[in-house]
Structure 1
């Protein structure tokens, strides 16, 4: 394709993203489902060129920022608290699923060598961070389940990628060493933690010295690719390196970023992540045609591979159920024996966890890196794509329903000691104390009476309130509803004065920024 045509295709794809994202909620579909289905439909539009993805380029473009986004906003304390459960899913569940898929594949396609069966298991075993984020951000889960799923999606790619590399090497060389595989995995993970921690630390030190806000925003965006590429160049896990850097940056961003930089960088980052996530699902859908053409057409898929692919899909889904319910049963036995490593999830929560196993871009990209000489390569490509389609279209569409049917309740023990209103009251008390110290001159005269009165009112309003939680929420919503109405009236008057040439553009922008900040504060408080 001519470079201009490539650019036109990208613009067209982004326009399709906007349309599908707009249509999805009106059809009652998760946006990921609409984007994947829309991309699959667009792939067969006459005249549209076949999309051939470079798997390594796809991984390096999309995976680092999406991993960084998840790690940046990960709550570190719950992450550490549930690390054993996360490791069980990110390592144990991946290895178990890969083993089950390998066994099933060997049963349905006996001529495939065991190493090739394991390679297929490694491709389809890790749930995808992008798919999980796209679905989970639109459903409400108890804190523990959300932490487990988010942590799993951040770390499991490393397990799948290492297993895949060793399986492919075993096919090519005809040899495999379990000890070497375990040692390599430990080196990749440990090295990734070191590299990511170092880059995250450098980011913190750099931002303390940068005064230009644009440089700060740019450095904050580039750190995800720096950590991933550095990890891969040093032959450690780029995934673990990126996640570690994201955890470090997310922990320190509250003290190294100014309010202005935080607002600007967050706005830019959210738009970039939205476009990348949407583009991932569109590209997966668009690549459907290329995968089908590569294996000989839809007729070949249906006639020669349908039953094998169906068995592999069933193995992927059921293996996750078996691992999660089995692990939960073991926890229950340990608790009854007096050892309490963690509380069991229970059947309802375990069902939700088991159903939340969507696959995505990593599965497809890894499948596309299979050597041309790999035995069963066509079956692997079709199986990888089928697993993505079924898990995103079926599980992604019905996950919200499964959560509602499960009727999960938040565990009171997982709640923090202070709720939102108690924390806000403590913050207002600290602000009032600071203003009170500075509100008087050295002779005792009052310098800032209005400020003192304003902050005193903020500090005492929570204490004075005596109604129920429902009354408080209703009063707060009404209070900030009035503020939002006042902001809207002020904005309308500001625009009227500008259109009537009573104020210049500079005045318009200055006062508009003040109204925007006031509106953001009111919306956050009302919500």
Structure 2
């Protein structure tokens, strides 16, 4: 395909993304499901050339920024507090699922070597960070479950990729050492942490020396790819390097970013992540045609592969249920035995966690990277693709219903000491103290009476308010509704003055920017 035609196809794909995203929102469906179906439909349009996906390019292009986005906004304290549960899912569940899939595959295809069965298990075992983010954005979960799912999606790819590489090497060389594999795994993880921490530290130092916002935003965008590529070049886990760098940057961004950088960087980053996530799911759909062509068409799949593929997919889903419910039963037993730190999820939360195991781009990219000489390569490709379709289209679309039906309870012990209202009140009092100290000159004369009155009102409003939390929320909403209405009226008047030729473009843009900041603050405070 000519490069210009390739670019035109990419633009057309993103235009299709906008339409599919709109349709998904109108139908109350997860956008990921609509994008996969839309990509699959586009793949069979007459005249459209086949889409060839380079698996290495997919991993290095899409995985780092999407992992970075998850790590950047991860709350570090809950992440650290629930580290045991996260590692149980990200490492334990991945290893267990790999073993279950390997055993089931061996029973279904006895001629397949054990190493090849393990390779298939490693391909299918890690739930995908992109799929998890795409679904979690549209559902509401208790904080503990959200932390566990987000933490799992950040770390499990490393375990799955390491298992896959060792299994493929065992198939190609005919030898495997458990001790060497275990030592290499910990070396890859520790090396990834070191590389990610170093990249994150360099980012902090760099941002303190750059003197313009554009350079700071550009440096921030490049961190994810820098960490991933550095990790892979040093033969450690690029995934862990990105996650570590993202956690470091997310921790320090509050002290190295100015308000203007934060607003502009967040807006740019949100658009970038939206396009990358959409492109990932579209590519999954578009790759359907290539997978069918490789194996000889849908008829061949239905005749020779349907039964083993569906049984393996069932094993993937069932293994997650077994691990999560088994682990929860063990925690419940420890709790009854007097171990206070053992806090089981409970059956309702465990059900939701078990159902939230969507696969995505990593599964597809790793499957496509299988060597041509791999035994049963076509079966592995079809199984990977069907697993993605079933988990995203079935589990992803029904997860919201599952949460509403199960109604998992919030773990009150995991909540922070201050709620949003209490933290906001504490912040307002600190602001008032700062204004009060600066409101008087050296002779004790009040020089900023309006500022002092404004911040005093904000700091004491909570003490004067009488009513329930719901009544307070309604009063706050009404207050900021008036501010938003005032901003809307001001913006309309600015436009009227500009259209009448009474103010120039520069004045319009400057005053409109002030109104935008005021509206953002009001919308944020109201929400």
Contact 2:127 2:360 in 1 (8 A): yes
Contact 1:331 1:340 in 2 (8 A): no
Instruction: Provide runs of 4+ in structure 1 moved above 6 Å.
Output: none
Give the structure 1 partner of residue 22 of structure 2: 22
Contact 1:331 1:341 in 2 (8 A): no
* Aligned counterparts, 1:50-129, within 5 A: 50-129=50-129
Could you say what secondary structure the match of 2:373 adopts?
Answer: coil
Could you say what secondary structure the match of 2:322 adopts?
Answer: helix
User: What is the CA–CA distance in structure 2 between the aligned matches of 1:11 and 1:140, rounded to whole Å?
Assistant: 33
Give the structure 2 partner of residue 246 of structure 1: 246
Give the structure 1 partner of residue 257 of structure 2: 257
- Structure 2 residue runs of 5 or longer lacking an equivalent are none
Give the structure 1 partner of residue 516 of structure 2: 516
Higher mean displacement: 379-388 or 451-460:
451-460
1:195 correspondence with 2:185: no
Could you say what secondary structure the match of 1:98 adopts?
Answer: helix
Contact 1:145 1:349 in 2 (8 A): yes
User: What is the CA–CA distance in structure 1 between the aligned matches of 2:424 and 2:377, rounded to whole Å?
Assistant: 58
Give the structure 2 partner of residue 232 of structure 1: 232
Could you say what secondary structure the match of 2:225 adopts?
Answer: helix
Could you say what secondary structure the match of 2:52 adopts?
Answer: coil
User: What is the CA–CA distance in structure 2 between the aligned matches of 1:515 and 1:342, rounded to whole Å?
Assistant: 51
Report the alpha carbon displacement of residue 26 of structure 1 after superposing the two structures with TM: 1.2
Contact 1:191 1:236 in 2 (8 A): yes
Report the alpha carbon displacement of residue 413 of structure 1 after superposing the two structures with TM: 1.5
Give the structure 2 partner of residue 448 of structure 1: 448
1:272 correspondence with 2:275: no
Report the alpha carbon displacement of residue 238 of structure 1 after superposing the two structures with TM: 0.2
1:23-55 Cα offsets, whole Å, 9 max, x none, are 102122110110011111111111111111000
Give the structure 2 partner of residue 179 of structure 1: 179
User: What is the CA–CA distance in structure 2 between the aligned matches of 1:28 and 1:512, rounded to whole Å?
Assistant: 34
Give the structure 2 partner of residue 220 of structure 1: 220
Give the structure 2 partner of residue 45 of structure 1: 45
1:399-418 Cα offsets, whole Å, 9 max, x none, are 00000001122122221111
Alpha-carbon RMSD: 0.6
Give the structure 2 partner of residue 457 of structure 1: 457
User: What is the CA–CA distance in structure 2 between the aligned matches of 1:402 and 1:386, rounded to whole Å?
Assistant: 22
1:9 correspondence with 2:4: no
Contact 2:349 2:409 in 1 (8 A): no
Report the alpha carbon displacement of residue 338 of structure 1 after superposing the two structures with TM: 2.0
Give the structure 2 partner of residue 33 of structure 1: 33
Higher mean displacement: 123-132 or 478-487:
478-487
1:398 correspondence with 2:398: yes
Give the structure 2 partner of residue 210 of structure 1: 210
User: What is the CA–CA distance in structure 1 between the aligned matches of 2:78 and 2:474, rounded to whole Å?
Assistant: 31
User: What is the CA–CA distance in structure 2 between the aligned matches of 1:437 and 1:149, rounded to whole Å?
Assistant: 46
Could you say what secondary structure the match of 2:462 adopts?
Answer: helix
User: What is the CA–CA distance in structure 2 between the aligned matches of 1:341 and 1:303, rounded to whole Å?
Assistant: 52
> If the length of structure 1 is used for normalisation, what is the TM-score?
0.99
User: What is the CA–CA distance in structure 2 between the aligned matches of 1:243 and 1:470, rounded to whole Å?
Assistant: 38
Report the alpha carbon displacement of residue 337 of structure 1 after superposing the two structures with TM: 1.8
Give the structure 2 partner of residue 333 of structure 1: 333
Report the alpha carbon displacement of residue 340 of structure 1 after superposing the two structures with TM: 3.6
> If the length of structure 2 is used for normalisation, what is the TM-score?
0.99
User: What is the CA–CA distance in structure 1 between the aligned matches of 2:430 and 2:166, rounded to whole Å?
Assistant: 56
Could you say what secondary structure the match of 1:359 adopts?
Answer: coil
Report the alpha carbon displacement of residue 110 of structure 1 after superposing the two structures with TM: 1.0
Report the alpha carbon displacement of residue 526 of structure 1 after superposing the two structures with TM: 1.1
* Aligned counterparts, 1:427-446, within 5 A: 427-446=427-446
User: What is the CA–CA distance in structure 1 between the aligned matches of 2:25 and 2:206, rounded to whole Å?
Assistant: 42
1:150 correspondence with 2:150: yes
User: What is the CA–CA distance in structure 2 between the aligned matches of 1:368 and 1:89, rounded to whole Å?
Assistant: 25
Could you say what secondary structure the match of 1:260 adopts?
Answer: helix
Higher mean displacement: 50-59 or 404-413:
404-413
Give the structure 1 partner of residue 366 of structure 2: 366
User: What is the CA–CA distance in structure 1 between the aligned matches of 2:400 and 2:143, rounded to whole Å?
Assistant: 16
User: What is the CA–CA distance in structure 1 between the aligned matches of 2:446 and 2:267, rounded to whole Å?
Assistant: 40
User: What is the CA–CA distance in structure 2 between the aligned matches of 1:445 and 1:115, rounded to whole Å?
Assistant: 82
Give the structure 1 partner of residue 161 of structure 2: 161
1:256-277 Cα offsets, whole Å, 9 max, x none, are 0000000000000000000000
Could you say what secondary structure the match of 1:287 adopts?
Answer: helix
User: What is the CA–CA distance in structure 2 between the aligned matches of 1:255 and 1:443, rounded to whole Å?
Assistant: 34
Contact 1:295 1:301 in 2 (8 A): yes
Give the structure 2 partner of residue 170 of structure 1: 170
Higher mean displacement: 20-29 or 76-85:
20-29
User: What is the CA–CA distance in structure 2 between the aligned matches of 1:419 and 1:334, rounded to whole Å?
Assistant: 31
Contact 2:439 2:447 in 1 (8 A): yes
1:200-241 Cα offsets, whole Å, 9 max, x none, are 001011111111110000000000000000000000000000
Higher mean displacement: 329-338 or 388-397:
329-338
User: What is the CA–CA distance in structure 2 between the aligned matches of 1:362 and 1:337, rounded to whole Å?
Assistant: 40
Report the alpha carbon displacement of residue 421 of structure 1 after superposing the two structures with TM: 1.0
Report the alpha carbon displacement of residue 156 of structure 1 after superposing the two structures with TM: 0.2
1:497 correspondence with 2:497: yes
User: What is the CA–CA distance in structure 2 between the aligned matches of 1:509 and 1:342, rounded to whole Å?
Assistant: 57
User: What is the CA–CA distance in structure 1 between the aligned matches of 2:426 and 2:357, rounded to whole Å?
Assistant: 40
Give the structure 2 partner of residue 417 of structure 1: 417
1:148-207 Cα offsets, whole Å, 9 max, x none, are 000000000000000000100010010100001100100000000000000000101111
- Structure 1 residue runs of 5 or longer lacking an equivalent are none
Contact 1:197 1:248 in 2 (8 A): yes
Report the alpha carbon displacement of residue 466 of structure 1 after superposing the two structures with TM: 1.2
User: What is the CA–CA distance in structure 2 between the aligned matches of 1:333 and 1:159, rounded to whole Å?
Assistant: 28
User: What is the CA–CA distance in structure 2 between the aligned matches of 1:238 and 1:169, rounded to whole Å?
Assistant: 19
